[in-house]
């Protein structure tokens, strides 16, 4: 990650940083662990009082997808900036093979059981396990935040390189924090939208993006597509936008553009996962009311921008 600064000197240091920040946030909130657990449960996040106690003491850390989702809800309950706790977590501890080499890795933002039926219905049941022959070389996301603070639109440009002949499509998986709605996917250039499936309960979209022509080994192809939400009001995005990379990407550029009435007081980039220590870095808004961050040779892991 370009220009990042690490919190802690390694996994143990980062784990201590998370525990200390969580403990301070709980103390500052004046809430008991029982009350925090009740509020989590009311928002659909199931975490035991024992787990909360272990997290704040540093004995354990949130690692599973459900626990990581609960941390995002915790940030709201404890009234701390979005990403301020999640960004302190160290990479999940490896189980068996390393995350970089392991096939069939569990997605971080939703469970395999949730995603698998959608993959089956678009004709890609083995997408999580197979060896892919299409490498994502570069990606540029531009996320537009509306005046009400919701997410209006995302425009993405992606460059791929084929590792085998006849590569003709890419499978897009998108999860919306506000599960009440799923965005519409539109092909902008060099591709068209194929089969799509949605899970409105969990706010997940799976779509085929079919290339204008197949590409052979060593060739590259650039596509552009957009995800547009209905509104206003636009779906809540919990003041953050991120990408989960299950495989390394050479370059990732993320832009957030804010409507004049939604310009935040502070912004920062954050990352975690893979072989890197979790990090955060303050960002400055530019003259157009936007902010950006760049990740180089990043992944697997999560890279994003949060704001207040």
pTM (2 d.p.): 0.65
List the chain domain ranges: 5-88, 112-307
What CATH number was assigned to the domain covering residues 112-307?
Answer: 2.60.40
Nearest to 112 by CA among 67, 154, 165, 64: 64
- Sorted by sequence, the CB contacts under 8 Å of residue 26 that are 6+ apart come out as 33, 36, 56, 78
- Sorted by sequence, the CB contacts under 8 Å of residue 306 that are 6+ apart come out as 81, 82, 83, 84, 87, 239, 240, 267, 268, 270
% of the chain residues with pLDDT over 70: 82
Are 5-88 and 112-307 in the same CATH fold?
Answer: no
3-state secondary structure of 241: strand
| Residues forming beta bridges with residue 211, ordered by sequence position | 191
Predicted pLDDT of residue 227: 94
Sign for the CA dihedral angle at 119, 125, 130, 135 comes to negative
3-state secondary structure of 26: helix
Identify the weakest region by mean pLDDT among 44-48, 126-130, 171-175.
Answer: 126-130
**pLDDT tens digits for 109-134?**
566 777 888 888 888 877 776 667 88
CATH 1.10.260 for domain 5-88, yes or no, is yes
């Amino acid at each position: 990650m370009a220009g990042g600064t690490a919190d802690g000197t390694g996994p143990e240091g980062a784990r201590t940083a998370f525990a200390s920040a969580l403990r301070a946030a709980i103390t500052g909130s004046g809430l008991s662990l029982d009350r925090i657990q009740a509020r989590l449960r009311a928002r659909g996040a199931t975490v035991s009082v024992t787990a909360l106690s272990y997290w704040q003491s540093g004995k354990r850390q949130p690692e599973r997808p459900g626990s990581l989702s609960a941390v995002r809800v915790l940030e709201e309950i404890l009234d701390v900036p979005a990403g301020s706790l999640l960004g302190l977590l160290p990479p999940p501890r490896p189980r068996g093979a390393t995350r970089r080499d392991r096939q069939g890795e569990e997605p971080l933002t939703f469970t395999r059981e949730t995603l698998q039926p959608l993959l089956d219905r678009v004709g890609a049941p083995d997408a999580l396990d197979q060896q892919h022959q299409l490498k994502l070389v570069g990606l540029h996301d531009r996320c537009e935040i509306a005046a009400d603070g919701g997410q209006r639109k995302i425009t993405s440009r992606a460059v791929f390189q084929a590792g085998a002949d006849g590569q003709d499509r890419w499978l897009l998986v998108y999860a919306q924090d506000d599960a009440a709605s799923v965005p519409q996917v539109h092909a902008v250039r060099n591709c068209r939208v194929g089969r799509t499936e949605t899970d409105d309960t969990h706010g997940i979209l799976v779509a085929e993006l079919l290339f204008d022509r197949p590409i052979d080994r060593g060739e590259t192809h650039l596509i552009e597509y957009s995800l547009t939400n209905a509104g206003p009001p636009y779906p809540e995005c919990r003041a953050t936008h991120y990408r989960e990379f299950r495989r390394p990407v050479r370059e990732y550029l993320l832009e957030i553009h804010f409507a004049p009435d939604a310009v935040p007081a502070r912004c920062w980039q954050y990352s975690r996962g893979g072989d890197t220590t979790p990090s955060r870095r303050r960002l400055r808004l530019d003259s157009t009311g936007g902010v950006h961050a760049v990740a180089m040779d990043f992944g697997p892991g999560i890279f994003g921008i949060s704001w207040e």
